[in-house]
Chains A and B, each alone.
Chain A
Amino acid sequence: MRPPRLPDARGPLTEELLAALRAGTDEFLGVLATAPTATGEDAALALWVLHELHYRGFAEVDDRFEWDPQLIRVRTLLERDLEARLRARFTRPEGLSFVDDVFGWIDDHDGVSLARHVHRDADRDQVLDLLRARSLYHLKESDPASWLVPRLGVRAKAALMELQYDEYGDGDPNRLHHHLFALGMAACGLEPAYDAHYDAVPPEALEQSNALSMVGLQRRLRGAALGHLAAFEATSSVPSRRMAQGLERLGFPDELVGYYTEHVEADAVHEQLAVRTVCGAMLAEEPELEDDLWFGAFTCLDLEDRFARAMLDRWGVSEVAA
């Protein structure tokens, strides 16, 4: 597997960070000094780069920097800011039980749907733009949730592995979901590597990926991570059908359509497992985490809604029905 190359800077922090990573000397005090003032896509890209050191690293970067204390400090500052912004938007639903009520709550709170747009109205260029922007997460689909495994109780751990085993192809690498997305991209003529598409990735997609990595990497946020997983799975099956039909309408190759049809069936199972067996088991073992399950579910819907609006906005599309 080829490690990706670094992206281009999007502001003062990423300029400082990328130069320091390339220099290869473990001296990041300048980055640390700049981090508290970073905002917007500059902060989002810096955090994405720091998270990636834990997944695949970069061609130009020494692998030892993954655990450099100064870089971990920068990551912590950026994550603290991201978490504060996400929590500021969140209100815990009153009087609802997560396992019994989250499907209904998602129906009431699901935002703008890109799948509806792709289903009926999108053109080919918009779909290619969407695939590039999605590639940042879809090419490591399910990996952030795998950080959770050793942090869960016996029941939740077994339940999460039952779900993740299917995400990873049930032992068959040909069916591993992020590999299916890579095959779909390649069949459309897109390079299946996220460093080929950095320019197409809006800050909202960076933030989606960052939120997932943050709740996956921080044991403290394991409740939010599983709440996010539940909402992600529960908003996948029906939209995946719409995506598949939209892609067929536009004549996209079978490999890409197949990625979405796989998710129609798989996620009809996974949404039930995520809510009932995974989150249900966590609540039985750690009931104090219910607020964070809701926080994670909210974060999933909120960030997808922001991503969808950003994509429609850049395509000049007035809003599609929620």
Chain B
Amino acid sequence: MRCFEHPDVILCPGGPMLLRGQHAVEDADGLPHETTRPVTAVCRCDKSASYPWCDGTHKSLPPRLRPA
């Protein structure tokens, strides 16, 4: 019986997309990036220096430039 919500994807307001489970994310150049941890944070502001993974850069953007 599932009593609790436990989504595979969580969209963080103003921040990254959390992905649970093993997966590969293909970046804009077509290169796959495999996960190495149980949850990853995928960049949604396009400014991360660790793209496609989040590095917290969204926090330094003005609110209007952060992801919805």
Chain A positions near chain B (C-beta within 8 angstroms): 100, 103, 107, 154-155, 162, 165-166, 170, 237-238, 241, 264-269, 271-273, 276-277
What is the distance, in angstroms, from B15's C-beta to the closest C-beta of chain A? 6
* Nearest 8 A/B pairs, CB to CB: A237-B56, A268-B54, A269-B41, A238-B56, A268-B41, A166-B37, A268-B56, A264-B55
B38 touches A272 (CB 8 A): no
With A165-B38, A264-B50 as known contacts, state yes or no: A269 contacts B55, CB within 8 Å. no
* Interchain CA distance A271-B53 in the complex, whole Å: 14
Return chain A residues, CB-CB under 8 Å to B56.
Answer: 237-238, 241, 264, 267-268, 271
What is the distance, in angstroms, from B45's C-beta to the closest C-beta of chain A? 11
Return chain B residues, CB-CB under 8 Å to A277.
Answer: 10
Total contacting residues, chain B, CB less than 8 A: 23
A170 touches B37 (CB 8 A): yes
Chain B positions near chain A (C-beta within 8 angstroms): 4, 10, 12-16, 18, 36-41, 49-50, 53-57, 59-60
The 8 Å CB contact of A265, one of B15, B55, B59, is B55
What is the distance, in angstroms, from A317's C-beta to the closest C-beta of chain B? 24
* Interchain CA distance A269-B41 in the complex, whole Å: 5
* Interchain CA distance A107-B56 in the complex, whole Å: 12
Return chain A residues, CB-CB under 8 Å to B13.
Answer: 100
B40 touches A269 (CB 8 A): yes
B38 touches A170 (CB 8 A): yes
Interface centre among A165, A238, A265, by most chain B C-beta atoms within 10 angstroms, is A265
